């Protein structure tokens, strides 16, 4: 079976509604069988690729996100942000983005971030007179910071597939992530001023001190996790373990919003999500290995190499393709489909794989908030009962901002590469 036939079969299987892990894994088994390759080699391949301490960080970060969402950590961060910036124009929108940025530095998950922030902030924004579309759109868009601000599950998965350094990828996401947060804040303030939304009352000094003290454990978690990684005291997996342990302990013993009886069910839900990611990884590993072993990957690279396409033209095509894929495939499916095919071409054209990873993640951010499969839109609908059309209307300006950010990061590589090159050298 040649490349075009595989592509057609792949699209047909997706069209009939098969889950992405079955499409990738099942098609790989058929392709190996047609080449008369012993299927036992797949088991050896899984062992070689997944027998890594880095892989352990995935379920640990998922567990951290689950307990942060349920254990009062998100609420403490929101209250902390509110006493600092709540009096500004569009104060609650700024609170959302500021609290989300800190929350994202622990959870690594976009949907967990959006859900945790939305459950508290959407009702608060509606009570202060914010429109439904702006409130839900702001939380949906701010939630995407969960996969760009380190640590990020998408960066970890990309690092495993592309065999790249996770700390370098984390650092590469810092400046784009902060730039995205600043652009979102600027728009939120402008929109709130235009719509004449009310400002919050000044917070008494005693209340200001109380809220800041209460927020110390929540704010300390990302400091410990990221500080441990970049000081060299912790590996990424050890940092993930600390994030999970601290999130559980803080949720139970400090904020006391997670009861002992809820620990096992919360762990179970986190592990269910992790298992889904591992099934997708297994299918993707099989499929990418077939692409390389069959020579299809080399043929695609040779085609682009012989076509004299410029790197900037290729990156433009990549962005268009990823945006289109993101409108009908879930984020992790796009990641595992695109990287094995596109990364070898990018490297052959001289594109830095760390830079390419950041471009990919920003495209995945867009996928989280673009219909018909934008997960953050459905998360907002489920917790607020606001219609999808209304949420999408509110998220449209943020899509424009993300497209602007994507262009900047794509064509000014230093935005993503300066910090990791400064810390680790070129």
Q: Is the pLDDT of residue 1 over 70?
A: no
Q: Mean pLDDT across the stretch 52-70? A: 85
In this structure, what token pair is assigned to residue 374? 């934008």
Check pLDDT > 90 for residue 278: no
Query: In 3-state terms, what secondary structure has residue 114?
Result: helix
- pLDDT of residue 3 exceeding 70: no
Displacement of CA 88 from its chain's centroid (Å): 28
Whether 290 shows a pLDDT value over 70: the answer reads: yes
Supply the pLDDT for residue 203.
87
Tokens in use for 19?
């889950």
Q: How far apart are CA 81 and CA 214, in angstroms?
A: 12
Encode pLDDT of 389-415 as tens digits.
Answer: 999 999 999 999 999 999 999 999 999
Residue 216, number of CB atoms within 10 A of its CB: 11
Residue 55, pLDDT above cutoff 90? no
Q: How confident is the model at residue 2 (pLDDT cuts 50, 70, 90)?
A: low
Asked whether residue 361 carries a pLDDT value surpassing 70, the answer given is: yes
How far apart, in Å, are the Cα atoms of 203 and each of 83, 99, 200, 214? Answer: 6, 18, 9, 15
* Cβ(41)–Cβ(293) below 8 Å: no
For 133-161, what is each residue's pLDDT tens digit? 999 999 999 999 989 998 888 999 899 88
Looking at every residue in the chain, the average pLDDT score rounds to 87
pLDDT of residue 50: 73
- Return d(Cα 232, Cα 239) in angstroms, integer: 10
pLDDT digits (tens, 9 = 90+) for 83-125: 999 888 889 999 999 998 888 877 777 888 888 888 889 998 9
Tokens of 367: 């996928």
**Cβ distance 64 to 247 under 8 Å?**
yes
- Which backbone phi and psi does 282 adopt, to 5 degrees? -60, -45
């Amino acid at each position: 079976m040649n490349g075009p036939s595989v592509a057609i079969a792949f699209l047909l299987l997706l069209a009939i509604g098969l889950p992405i892990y079955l499409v990738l894994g099942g098609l790989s088994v058929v392709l190996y069988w047609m080449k008369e390759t012993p299927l036992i080699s797949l088991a050896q391949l899984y062992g070689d690729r997944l027998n890594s301490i880095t892989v352990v960080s995935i379920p640990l970060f998922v567990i951290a996100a689950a307990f942060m969402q349920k254990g009062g950590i998100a609420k403490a961060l929101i209250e902390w942000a509110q006493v600092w910036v709540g009096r500004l124009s569009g104060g609650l929108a700024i609170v959302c983005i500021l609290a989300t940025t800190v929350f994202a530095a622990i959870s690594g998950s976009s949907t967990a971030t959006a859900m945790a922030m939305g459950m508290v902030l959407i009702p608060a924004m509606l009570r202060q007179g914010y429109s439904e579309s702006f409130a839900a759109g702001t939380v949906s868009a701010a939630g995407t910071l969960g996969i760009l601000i380190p640590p990020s599950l998408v960066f970890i998965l990309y690092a495993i597939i592309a065999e790249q350094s996770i700390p370098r990828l984390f650092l590469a996401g810092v400046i784009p992530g902060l730039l995205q947060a600043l652009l979102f804040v600027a728009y939120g303030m402008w929109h709130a001023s235009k719509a004449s939304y009310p400002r919050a009352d000044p917070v008494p000094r005693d209340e200001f001190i109380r809220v800041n003290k209460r927020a110390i454990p929540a704010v300390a978690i990302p400091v410990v996790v990221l500080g441990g990684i970049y000081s060299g005291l912790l590996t990424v997996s050890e940092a993930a373990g600390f994030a999970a342990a601290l999130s559980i302990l803080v949720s139970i013993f400090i904020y006391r919003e997670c009861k002992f009886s809820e620990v096992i069910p919360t762990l179970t839900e986190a592990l269910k999500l992790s298992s889904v990611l591992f099934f997708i990884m297994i299918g993707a590993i099989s499929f990418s290995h077939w692409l390389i072993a069959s020579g299809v990957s080399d043929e695609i690279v040779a085609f682009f190499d012989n076509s004299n396409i410029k790197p900037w033209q290729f990156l433009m095509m990549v962005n268009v393709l990823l945006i289109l894929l993101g409108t009908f495939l879930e984020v992790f499916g796009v990641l595992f489909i695109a990287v094995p095919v596109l990364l070898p071409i990018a490297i052959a054209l001289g594109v830095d794989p760390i830079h390419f990873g950041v471009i990919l993640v920003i495209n995945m951010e867009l996928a989280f908030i673009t219909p018909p499969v934008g997960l953050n839109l459905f998360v907002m609908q489920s917790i607020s009962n606001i219609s999808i059309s209304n949420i999408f209307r509110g998220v449209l300006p943020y899509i424009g901002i993300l497209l602007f950010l994507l262009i900047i990061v794509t064509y000014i590589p230093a935005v993503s590469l300066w910090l990791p090159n400064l810390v680790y050298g070129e």
